Structure 1
C-alpha cells in the first residue's frame, strides 16, 4: 500500500456532539465566539488519533453563516483565531502535524448557483489574511464548481505554499460520470486543476459511495497528462444531499451505518483507486481517524 497521509475529521459535528455551542446559521463559527478552547481540544484529539494534518476551523467564517455585519467586523480576527487555535494544538500534541488553511465555499455549501465573482476578493481576503501566519498550505474545501478555486488562486500569498482543492460531488442521483454539484464533470475539473497548478485534488462533503469513481477518473486524467498531483478523499456521514440543499436548512441526520470500521472499508476502496490522502468530513470523528491511522500506513 502507498504511503497515506491522514487528514482530520469534521470539526462542526464533533463540536455539536460535545455539546459545544453549535447551531445554524453560525455552524462551527459559533464556538469561535463562545467557546474557542473546545476547538483546540477537538484539534488535539484528532492529532492524538493520528491525523497528519489538521484543518483550521474557518469554514463558517463567511456571510452565508455569520451574516454580513459580523463578517465585516469579525472575519479576519476570527480567521486569525482559528489559525492560532490550530497552532496551539500542534504545539501541544504533534509538532510534526501540518495545518491546512481552510478556505470555504464563499457563498454556501452546495450552492454553485450563488457564486458571485464580484464578491470573491471581498470575502476571501480577510480569511486568507487571518490564516496566513498559520497555514502550511491552503485547502479550498467543498468546492461545487470549477470557478470557485480558480477565483481563489490569484488571491493567495505569492509564496511556495501549496494549494489543495477539494470538490463536493453530486450524490443524490450519482451517475457513471462523476460530476461536481455544478454539473461539471470530474474529468473537466481535473484538467482545469492541472492548469491551475494545484498539488492535490480531493473530494469531500459527499457520500462515500460516490467517491471511488471520482478518484478513478481523476487518476486516469492525471496519468494521461503525466501530472504529479496527489488525490484525496474525506466523505461525510450525511444522507444524500438533494440539488436544492442548503447548508442553513437545519442539521442533517448522521448515518448510523458509518462506524469506524465501515468507514475504513470505504477508505480502502479509495486507496485502491489511487487516493493517498484520507480523512473525514461532517460526522466523521476522532474514533474514525484513529482506525484510519492504525490501518493505513501514513507518514506525511
Structure 2
C-alpha cells in the first residue's frame, strides 16, 4: 500500500514522468490535433505512454489533460467533451500506474502568457469545470503546470483549495529570469503560493535544465515548500518542418543529480523528453535520500570580470560609395579571397539600453573586425531590432553590419518589407536562417510564421537582386544583397549535411557561416568535405565562458557539440578563470581553422565582447604567417 503523496514527498525524492505531447509527435501524431482527445479515441496509445514512463522508473505521472479545458478544446469543437476527456485521462493513468506511481491531474495555463486573450471570468469557469472533474475522478494530487503569470496560477490554486485538501504542485514556465511574466519576483510568488495552500512549487517547460537551474540558484525557497522541476530536453531544433530536441538522457541524469543536491523533491521532464530520459534520471537518483531542507540559496557565479586584451592592429582601409555618401568596406566576398576575414557576432540587447552593445561594436571595430553580425531574436527570445542596431553600428562605429533574417517572425509581406528597408539603409550583407520556434522563447504565446524555408528565403532575396518582388512584379531598382547561409557540421553524417549545404548554394547562397566547432579534427574534416564548394566558408568559433556554459551548449543547444577534451578542460570553471580558459581553447581552435579557412566567424558569449576582441587581435597576430592548405 502506497503512502499518500504528501507523506511520500516528506520522506523521499520522486521521479516524475516525461513529455506526452512531443512524445506523441515523435510517435507520428501530427501537430494541430488535440492530443487530449486521444484519451477517448485511442486509449491504448495513451495508456501505453504512461506505462512506458512507469516502467522507466517514474513514481509520479501526469494525466493527459494539460489542455483539456473548455477554452482549449473549443479550437477542435470538443468543448462539450471536457468531462469525458478528463475522466478518461485519469482512468488511463491510474491503470498504467497501478500501485507503482502516484497520479496527478495535469492542468495547464489557459492564457499561456497572453495577457488579454481570455476574460478572467472565462478562465475561472474553464478551470473550475476541469478541476471538478479531475478531483471527482480520483487523482492523488493536482499539477498546475506551465503557468506564466502568478495571477492565473493563484486563481487555479484557490479553485482547487475551495473543495480539496489534496496535494497541489504549482509550476511556472521560466527562461531563467527572476520574475514571473506579470512582473512578480519569484521569491514573492513562491511565498504567495505557499500561503494560498501549495505543497510544491517549481518550474517546467520553456527552458532546459540549465535555465531552470539558474532560476533555482537565485532563489531561497520559503519554509514549508518543496520544489519540483520538469525541464525541456534543451532547445528545440526545426529542420525541414520537423521538431527535435538536443539534450540526451545522460545529460538529464547529471542534471537530475544537481537538482537533487539543491533539494528538489520531484524531478521529471517536459517537452522533448522520453522514457529514456526518465530511465536515466531514475537510475541516477536510485538510493538518493533527500535532506530535511527544501533548498539552499546558491549565489550565481561572478561574471563581471573582463578578459584583458592587447593593442589592435590598424583598421582595414575603407572605400567610398556615392550612393550613400558614407565610407564603405569592400564586400566580405572580396576580402575573403585575399586574406583572413573576421566576422564577429554580438547579440542585440534584451532591454532598451544599447550602451554596452555599442561599446562592444566600437571595440571590435578598433580590433580590426571586418563585419559585425546581429542575430534575429535568436532562440526565439525578444531582442532589439537588428535592423535598427545594424544602422547604428554602420553610422556610429563605422563597422559593416551583417544582419540575420529569420523565417520565423515575418510572413512574405513582412519579409520583403524588411529587406526593402535594409536596402534603403545601405545594409546589404545578410544571413538567411530558419529561426528557433517561438513556442520555446520568452513569448510562447506568439506564432511562428515560417512562410518560407531557409532555402526559399535565400531564393527570394536573390530575386530582389534581379529587380523582381516576391510577388513577381518588377521593381524599379535592383537590390545588391550578399546572402549567407548557415551550416551545422556537428552531425553524425557530415556528408548529408554537406549535401544540404549544396542545395543552399544552388538556391543562391554567396557564403556560409558554420555553427561553432570545438574539435580541430572536425575542422579538418569540414575542410576536406567542403573544399569543392565555390563559395567561402566562415568557420564558427565561440569561446566558452564557464564549465556550465560548456555543458549547456553541448547538451541543450541544437547544432552544437563539444569534444570530450574541451568539456573536461572547462569542467567546474567559472568566472574569470572560466573565460580565460575558454579564450585559450578558442585560440587553439583558431590555429586549426586559419590553416584551412580564410573566413573566421567569432561568436560572442553573453555580450562579453572583450573575449571576441582578444580573439580578433589574435587572428591578426597569426595571419601574416599563415598559408592555406
Task: Name the TM tier (shorter chain).
Answer: 0.7 to 0.9
5+ long unaligned stretches in structure 1: 242-250
SS in 1 for 2:243: coil
Contact 2:171 2:204 in 1 (8 A): yes
Mark the CA change 1:103 to 1:252 in structure 2 (over 3 Å): closer, same or farther. Answer: farther
Contact 1:206 1:238 in 2 (8 A): no
Q: Distance in 1 between matches of 2:236 and 2:181?
A: 12
Mark the CA change 1:72 to 1:167 in structure 2 (over 3 Å): closer, same or farther. Answer: same
Deviation of residue 100 (structure 1)?
0.7
The residue number in structure 1 matching 2:529 is none
Verify: 1:254 aligned to 2:257, yes or no.
no
Deviation of residue 76 (structure 1)?
1.3
Deviation of residue 112 (structure 1)?
4.2
Contact 2:71 2:79 in 1 (8 A): no
Deviation of residue 190 (structure 1)?
1.1
Verify: 1:53 aligned to 2:60, yes or no.
yes
The residue number in structure 2 matching 1:162 is 167
Contact 1:6 1:50 in 2 (8 A): yes
The residue number in structure 2 matching 1:212 is 213
C-alpha distance after superposition, 1:38-89 (max 9, x if no partner): 0000000100000000100001213554326734311111111111111111
The residue number in structure 2 matching 1:228 is 224
Q: Distance in 1 between matches of 2:261 and 2:185?
A: 22
* Residue 32 (structure 2) aligned to one of 13, 21, 24: 24
C-alpha distance after superposition, 1:145-170 (max 9, x if no partner): 1111211133226232111101101x
Q: Distance in 1 between matches of 2:118 and 2:244?
A: 28
SS in 2 for 1:29: coil
Q: Distance in 2 between matches of 1:36 and 1:23?
A: 19
The residue number in structure 2 matching 1:237 is 233
Deviation of residue 255 (structure 1)?
2.4
Q: Distance in 1 between matches of 2:12 and 2:158?
A: 31
Q: Distance in 1 between matches of 2:164 and 2:37?
A: 32
SS in 1 for 2:201: strand
C-alpha distance after superposition, 1:201-248 (max 9, x if no partner): 110002222111322344x141xxxx221111011135289xxxxxxx
Mark the CA change 1:116 to 1:276 in structure 2 (over 3 Å): closer, same or farther. Answer: same
The residue number in structure 2 matching 1:145 is 149
Q: Distance in 2 between matches of 1:69 and 1:146?
A: 28
The residue number in structure 1 matching 2:186 is 186
Q: Distance in 2 between matches of 1:185 and 1:267?
A: 25
Q: TM-score, normalised by structure 2?
A: 0.41
Higher RCO (Cα < 8 Å, 6 or more apart): 1
Verify: 1:268 aligned to 2:257, yes or no.
yes
5+ long unaligned stretches in structure 2: 1-10, 291-629
The residue number in structure 2 matching 1:14 is 23
199-208 or 61-70: which moved more?
Answer: 61-70
C-alpha distance after superposition, 1:239-290 (max 9, x if no partner): 289xxxxxxxxx883322x010112222222222221210000111100101
* Residue 133 (structure 2) aligned to one of 120, 127, 130: 130
Instruction: Give the structure with higher Rg (CA).
Output: 2
73-82 or 117-126: which moved more?
Answer: 117-126
The residue number in structure 1 matching 2:74 is 67
Q: Distance in 2 between matches of 1:76 and 1:125?
A: 12
Mark the CA change 1:206 to 1:252 in structure 2 (over 3 Å): closer, same or farther. Answer: farther
Deviation of residue 184 (structure 1)?
2.8
Q: CA RMSD in A?
A: 2.5
Q: How many residues are aligned here? A: 273
Q: Distance in 1 between matches of 2:87 and 2:73?
A: 16
Verify: 1:277 aligned to 2:278, yes or no.
no
Contact 1:187 1:221 in 2 (8 A): yes
Contact 1:62 1:123 in 2 (8 A): yes
Q: Distance in 1 between matches of 2:76 and 2:210?
A: 39
Contact 2:15 2:267 in 1 (8 A): yes
Q: TM-score, normalised by structure 1?
A: 0.82
